């Protein structure tokens, strides 16, 4: 599994909160997955999850059966900035004996920039109940925007 640039899957080889979904455990003898990130000079960090299958086919015909859904969940840390449109995809590949058997990509979710140093203050002389008061909004946006929506 390859995450879009900037997404963090874990640190020091450990995936954040990885767990198989539900009660079905398809790979009971395999070690937990490894999550690693690498930084490149031109882009944000690129993180991968590698799940090595160490099952035996002694008790079953197929180690990873076809057409059987597999599902896991884990935590990720979203990037501060949205990846480029052409890079904002998750890629999963299934390899065996250094041969690519299948793969797919899925579009990621939108990542909204944060406001840094956000503060809101009641200012002016009219601060009593029922009066029209003034508010001072002070912030630093982390991304470009064209509209500010305050609710």
pLDDT, one tens digit per residue, over 18-33 is 999 877 777 888 899 9
The more confidently predicted of residues 39 and 135 is 135
> Can you give the pLDDT at residue 100?
92
Predicted confidence (pLDDT) at residue 41 exceeds the cutoff of 60: no
The more confidently predicted of residues 42 and 78 is 78
Is the pTM value of this prediction over 0.75?
no
> Can you give the pLDDT at residue 39?
79
Predicted confidence (pLDDT) at residue 78 exceeds the cutoff of 60: yes
Phi, psi of 113 (to 5 degrees): -65, 155
Q: Sorting pLDDT into bands at 50, 70 and 90, what band is 5? A: very high
- The whole-angstrom separation of Cα 101 and Cα 92 is 11
Structure-token pair, residue 19: 């767990």
Q: Sorting pLDDT into bands at 50, 70 and 90, what band is 42? A: low
Distance linking the first and last C-alpha atoms of the chain = 38
Predicted confidence (pLDDT) at residue 93 exceeds the cutoff of 90: yes
């Amino acid at each position: 599994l390859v995450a879009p640039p900037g997404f963090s899957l874990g640190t020091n080889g450990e995936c954040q909160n990885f767990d198989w979904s539900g009660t079905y455990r398809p790979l009971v003898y395999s070690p937990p997955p490894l999550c690693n990130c690498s930084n490149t000079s031109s882009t944000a960090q690129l993180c991968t999850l590698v799940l090595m299958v160490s099952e035996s086919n002694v008790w079953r015909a197929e180690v990873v059966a076809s057409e059987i859904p597999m599902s896991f969940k884990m935590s990720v840390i979203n990037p501060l900035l949205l990846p480029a449109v052409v890079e904002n995809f998750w890629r999963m590949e299934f390899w065996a004996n250094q041969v690519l058997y299948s793969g797919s990509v899925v579009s990621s979710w939108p990542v909204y920039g944060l406001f840094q140093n956000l503060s809101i203050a009641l200012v002016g002389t009219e601060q009593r109940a029922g009066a029209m008061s003034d508010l001072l909004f002070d912030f630093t946006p982390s991304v470009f925007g064209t509209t500010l929506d305050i609710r």
